[in-house]
Amino acid sequence: MALRKILLQGDKALLRTSREVTDFDARLAQLLDDLHETIESEEGMGLAAPQVGVLRRACLVIDLTGTEDEVLELINPEIITYSEELDTACEGCLSVPNIWGMVDRPKEVRVRAQDRFGNVFELDCDNYLARAIQHEIDHLDGILFSKNTTRFLSEKEAELIMDGREREFRKRRKNARLLAAKSGTKPSSINSRKIIVQPADGAESV
Ligand SMILES: [Zn+2]
């Protein structure tokens, strides 16, 4: 595994559309492992391949909806249904450091994606997780959250209104990172979410 450099706003690669992943091979596994290591060294809630300069439709999202922090891997993710109801909340981005903003997004979505082996799965999610996944899919389409921001906020303002789970997670990761830096080790890793893959119905196949 290796840390990858995160591209910052202003880099044209962040505005390009990423290509579908077609090879579920060792190279993809390496990319995902590197994205894991990179996100673990930051306090981000998600990271998409184009943010490290790889224009492929793959991203990670931290899932805080269970009892443990877990990393969700989404390959070729697409939103297949949206709720009409919108949710307005603040977002930040590792590629747009120190800037936060309010963004309106559908409150509930159903996502279809593949895992690192190419198995198709679907996921219903809402609120914070639905938002995080939509933010990452936007990266795959070359869209930064700052484009859709209705109001910009300072980090302090953002922390006051962000989802409580996200605020706690950011604190935990920051502490883990500081502890690791002191002891010269790596921050503890976040487990990968084990997806139970539902076989696709009918003739649909991977
Ligand atoms: Zn982002």
User: One of 40, 91, 136, 166 is an active-site residue; which one?
Assistant: 136
What's residue 195's pLDDT?
65
Separation of CA 139 and ligand 1 centre (Å): 7
Separation of CA 152 and ligand 1 centre (Å): 15
Separation of CA 38 and ligand 1 centre (Å): 13
What's residue 180's pLDDT?
85
Amino acid code (one letter) for 205: S
Pairing of strands 70-82, 191-192: parallel
Separation of CA 46 and ligand 1 centre (Å): 7
Residue 196, both tokens: 């139970």
What's residue 166's pLDDT?
87
What's residue 188's pLDDT?
75
Indicate if the pLDDT at residue 135 is higher than 90: yes
Domains of the chain: 12-184 (3.90.45.10)
What's residue 108's pLDDT?
97
Judge whether 20 counts as a catalytic residue.
no
Neighbours of ion ligand 1 (CB under 5 A): 93
What's residue 196's pLDDT?
59
What's residue 204's pLDDT?
47
Helix (H, G, I), strand (E, B) or coil at 138: helix
pLDDT over 90 for what percent of the chain? 66
Separation of CA 82 and ligand 1 centre (Å): 20
Indicate if the pLDDT at residue 23 is higher than 50: yes
Indicate if the pLDDT at residue 62 is higher than 90: yes
Mean pLDDT of the chain: 90
Separation of CA 8 and ligand 1 centre (Å): 10
Instruction: Tell if the pTM clears 0.75, that is, is over it.
Output: yes
**Range among 32-41, 59-68, 76-85, 179-188 rated most confident:** 76-85
Mean pLDDT for 182-206 is: 65
